[in-house]
Amino acid sequence: MFSKRLPLPAGPHDLPAPAPPAGALHAVSRVGVVILLVLAVFNGAFLYGLPTLTGAEYAWVIATPVNAAFLGAGYLAGTVATALVVFATRSWRSLRVLPLPLVVLSVGLLAATLLHADKFRWDYPLTWVWTAVYATVPFVVAVLWRRQERVASRAPAFHPGLRGVRIASAALGSVLMVVALALYAGAVELWPWPLTPLLGQALGSWYALVATALLVCARSMRRPVEAVIPYATLLTWSLLLLLLPLLHGVTFSVELGVWIALHVALVTLSAAALLAARRLHEGRL
């Protein structure tokens, strides 16, 4: 008679992979942010560092270097957000405020591209990359958001130490949304330096992103650690923008004075939020 062979005990490679803890950032979400980081680095370095080359080496001709550098500042600030997510973040709540602003930016820039399609260089391959990125980002973000929210941990209580930051964020976010809508509607004559309608909508899209981020923070930021990524990004963006009048010789005017005051207020808010997050420190992102 043949002896009955007993099944071998399961080895370590036969066991199912443990499920990620509730509220953890999924690997596929991190991969998506890595792609955004690469795009932000290349766009930011080129537009902010070499703004005079956009006439020959970009999807559309940005006539004034200060405007190219403005767009570059947004991408460079985006490298701060994406690098923090890729290299330092474990919790979904630490970056939960970012998806909606990213969708707002993508929709705004895609709409500007379609409204001014005659201004774009469609014989240049990167123009199609530009368009494809902003056309697909909203759908990819929606899928990743749904996956993360299905396994998200229960939202904690609002930390009382963040109340002032949230109130100030709501106020400045509302102001920036008015600026964004005015630029998108064509009120470019009120700007401190020359803008075309396309540039007005491009800049307006970035202001809409920041406004949305501040309003989302005001509405849903609960823990001090959740302030780190959005306000570090805002601080970087505001400081890079405040350098533009010096780097590009923008003539001082009342409009420029108001613009500077607005961005100084953003720097102040960002610094206050980051100091509050440090003072109320709770642990890693």
Q: pLDDT of 127-167, one tens digit each?
A: 999 999 999 999 999 999 999 999 888 889 999 999 999 99
- Give, to the nearest 10 degrees, the angle between helix 254-279 and helix 228-242: 150
Residue 22 included in any domain: no
pLDDT at 19 over 90: no
Buried-state track 24-39, b at ≥16 Cβ within 10 A, e below 16: bbeeebeebbeebbeb
The pLDDT value recorded for residue 36 is 94
Token pair 């550098």 in the structure block, residue: 69
State the total domains in the chain: 1
Residue 191 included in any domain: yes
Q: What is the share, in percent, of the chain residues with pLDDT greater than 90?
A: 79
The pLDDT value recorded for residue 154 is 86
Distance, in Å, from the CA atom of 41 to the CA atom of 43, rounded to the nearest integer, reads 6
Closest CA to 74 of 213, 221, 272: 213
Average pLDDT over residues 154-183: 96
Which one-letter DSSP state was computed for residue 130?
H
pLDDT at 75 over 70: yes
Any idea which of 50-54, 83-87, 219-223 has the lowest mean pLDDT? 50-54
Distance, in Å, from the CA atom of 257 to the CA atom of 24, rounded to the nearest integer, reads 44
Angle of CA points 122, 48, 38, to nearest 5°: 70
Residue 67 included in any domain: yes
Any idea which of 14-28, 39-53, 96-110, 172-186 has the lowest mean pLDDT? 14-28
pLDDT at 258 over 90: yes
Domain around 127: 27-279
pLDDT at 241 over 50: yes
At position 27, the amino acid (one-letter code) is A
Token pair 């920036």 in the structure block, residue: 176
Residue 284 included in any domain: no
Any idea which of 7-16, 100-109, 113-122, 258-267 has the lowest mean pLDDT? 7-16
Residue 9 included in any domain: no
Residue 13 included in any domain: no
Torsion angle of alpha carbons 107, 270, 186, 130, nearest 10°?
Answer: -30
Structural contact between residues 156 and 222, judged by C-beta atoms closer than 8 angstroms = yes
**pLDDT grade, residue 1 (50/70/90)?**
very low
Average pLDDT over residues 35-55: 92
Structural contact between residues 204 and 248, judged by C-beta atoms closer than 8 angstroms = no
pLDDT at 18 over 70: no
Question: pLDDT: is 7 or 23 the higher one?
Answer: 23
Residue 264 included in any domain: yes
Residue 10 included in any domain: no
Distance, in Å, from the CA atom of 30 to the CA atom of 242, rounded to the nearest integer, reads 31
